[in-house]
Amino acid sequence: MTLRVLCVFLLSGWLSIYAAALPIPENGPALRIQGSNTIGADLGPALVEGLLQEQGLLKIHRETPDTANEQRIVGQTAQGQRVIIEVAAHGSSTGFAALKNASADLAASSREIKDSELLALQTLGDLKSPAAEQVIAIDGLAIILNPSNPLQQLNTEQLARIFAGEVKTWEELGGRGGAIHLYARDDQSGTYDTFKELVLSRRGKSLSSAAKRFESSEQLSDAVSNDPQGIGFIGLPYVRQAKAVAIADGASQAMLPLNSLIATEDYPLSRRLFFYLPPDIQNPWAQALATFAQSPQGQAIVATSGFVSQTVQAMSVAPNALMPEGYQSLSRHAQRLTVNFRFAEGSASLDNKARQDLARVLDYIKRHGKTERAVTLVGFGDLKDDPARADLLSKLRAMAVRRELVKNGVVMREVRGFGALMPVATNSADEGRIKNRRVEVWVY
């Protein structure tokens, strides 16, 4: 499916292809979901309930079997037939394992699929294709402390040393309280995988064996809330009574896990939440759930579940002295949309989320009457030996987005490139450089 056709498809009606009732099996569940605890605890079941309502089912409710972190979402047809969807939430890696052994129809993951998993599942089709890899929400890993802890910010280098056990006391960080107590998610967790990738592995470190591990996000958060010496990492909806601190990465400014900074993925510990659907073994309920999750109704459920939706909004940005003058001027006269376009690794092509976001941005532009010279694209890149090359590449990325918008009837006001200025991540690692290669959308 071409990008333009995809946009037309999305904009013409997110749920139109599922207007007809989905088939109901005579025996067993209609859909089996396995994977991320972050998704499976509440977001996944809430999206399932929304789909069942769309299908006109009655008496929708959740049933909890004896196994921890598993649920059944049940609805009933007008004729009294039960429709069952099973959700097992034991960690992202378990979702891909379940796809391999055919015990799940859809994998929920709070991290991107690994190369080893792609290889192991290649008989099911290309799980990196746009139809298979579906970004359903944005989350931010919050670094949480006990509310009595006076520290307000940390950087990712400090985080790595803390969770590796190299920094042992709060006094070493300018705080107080004695020995640091570490709290972490379990090895099966996508939350742990994300923290390991973004913080530990990037610096060649491993999690200290002294860390207390949790399968439950809620229990981890509550443990930190009750421990004045505690520190942990958690998905955004699970901060609960704990205190989140601002995080800096490399030369980036320290950022709190605010919705706007997570929506744009500027926050250093932001992450994507995924559904993965095997393209060669299609379950119509899995396809319908992924489509529903992308719809405005589905994204509203994402927001009410405590995650950050992908619904495009305009936000004001206050100019400050750290911004280049041209960017300050832009922030004084225009508003930034809550989306960044990013690119597939090692490619000038938009990644799968950007393909979805293009449809949402086009919808916003057309609904708000901004198709005629009211849109400015701003490109950024990673650090290069030659600043002029960085400037050029940043503008070329913005031009790549411009081409797609122009195809759909948008007349640009301006396209600008700011090179390697205003990084949102460190340029010393591949992941950071990829994050810095981004295109912002501004509207007048």
DSSP string, 225-237: HT-TTEEEEEEGG
| Rounded Cα distance, 74 and 260, in Å | 35
**Structure confidence at residue 346 (pLDDT):** 61
Q: Residue 284's domain spans which residues? A: 13-136+273-304
**Structure confidence at residue 347 (pLDDT):** 65
Q: Which residues of 76-95 are buried (b: 16+ CB within 10 A; e: fewer)?
A: eeeeeeebbbbbbbbbbbbb
Does 218 lie in the same domain as 153?
Answer: yes
Does 179 lie in the same domain as 61?
Answer: no
Position 241 in a domain: yes
In CATH, what number is assigned to the domain containing residue 363?
3.30.1330.60
**Structure confidence at residue 433 (pLDDT):** 86
Question: If you search the block for the tokens 């225009």, which residue do you land on?
Answer: 334
Does 246 lie in the same domain as 166?
Answer: yes
**Structure confidence at residue 61 (pLDDT):** 98
- Three-state secondary-structure class, residue 338: strand
Does 191 lie in the same domain as 97?
Answer: no
Token couple for 251:
């030369």
C-alpha torsion sign, points 194, 199, 205, 206: negative
| Rounded Cα distance, 287 and 284, in Å | 5
Position 2 in a domain: no
Position 375 in a domain: yes
Q: Please list the pLDDT of the chain residue by residue as tens digits (444 residues).
A: 444 444 444 443 444 444 468 999 989 999 999 999 989 999 999 999 999 999 999 999 999 988 999 999 999 999 999 999 999 999 999 999 999 999 999 999 999 999 999 999 999 999 999 999 999 999 989 999 999 999 999 999 999 999 999 999 999 998 888 999 999 999 988 899 889 988 998 899 999 999 999 999 999 999 999 999 999 999 888 999 999 999 999 888 899 999 999 999 999 999 899 999 999 988 999 999 999 999 999 999 999 998 999 999 999 999 999 899 999 999 999 999 999 999 876 666 888 999 999 999 999 999 999 999 999 999 998 888 788 888 898 999 999 999 999 999 999 999 999 999 999 988 887 778 888 999 999 999
Please give the distance of CA 97 from its chain centroid, rounded to a whole number. 21
**Structure confidence at residue 349 (pLDDT):** 81
Question: If you search the block for the tokens 């295109």, which residue do you land on?
Answer: 439
**Structure confidence at residue 198 (pLDDT):** 85
How many CA atoms within 13 Å lie on the side-chain side of 97?
10
Does 297 lie in the same domain as 337?
Answer: no
| Rounded Cα distance, 223 and 232, in Å | 9
**Structure confidence at residue 389 (pLDDT):** 86
C-alpha torsion sign, points 40, 45, 50, 55: positive
Does 240 lie in the same domain as 317?
Answer: no
- Domain tally, the chain: 3
| Rounded Cα distance, 381 and 122, in Å | 33
Position 4 in a domain: no
Q: Which residues of 135-164 are buried (b: 16+ CB within 10 A; e: fewer)?
A: bbbbbbbbbbbbeebebeebbbebbbbbbb
**Structure confidence at residue 277 (pLDDT):** 97
**Structure confidence at residue 202 (pLDDT):** 85
Spatial CB neighbours of 102, under 8 Å, sequence gap ≥ 6: none
Position 384 in a domain: yes
Does 184 lie in the same domain as 74?
Answer: no
Does 82 lie in the same domain as 30?
Answer: yes
Please give the backbone phi and psi of residue 439, each rounded to the nearest 5 degrees, phi first. -130, 125
Token couple for 115:
């190369």
Position 181 in a domain: yes
Position 388 in a domain: yes
Angle formed at CA 111 by CA 227 and CA 122, multiple of 5 degrees: 150
Does 152 lie in the same domain as 131?
Answer: no
**Structure confidence at residue 270 (pLDDT):** 92
Sheet strands (E) in 8-120 = 31-35, 58-63, 70-76, 82-89, 106-109
Does 429 lie in the same domain as 328?
Answer: yes
Does 434 lie in the same domain as 317?
Answer: yes
Does 279 lie in the same domain as 255?
Answer: no
The structure's pTM equals 0.84
In CATH, what number is assigned to the domain containing residue 243?
3.40.190.10
Please give the distance of CA 188 from its chain centroid, rounded to a whole number. 18
Position 268 in a domain: no
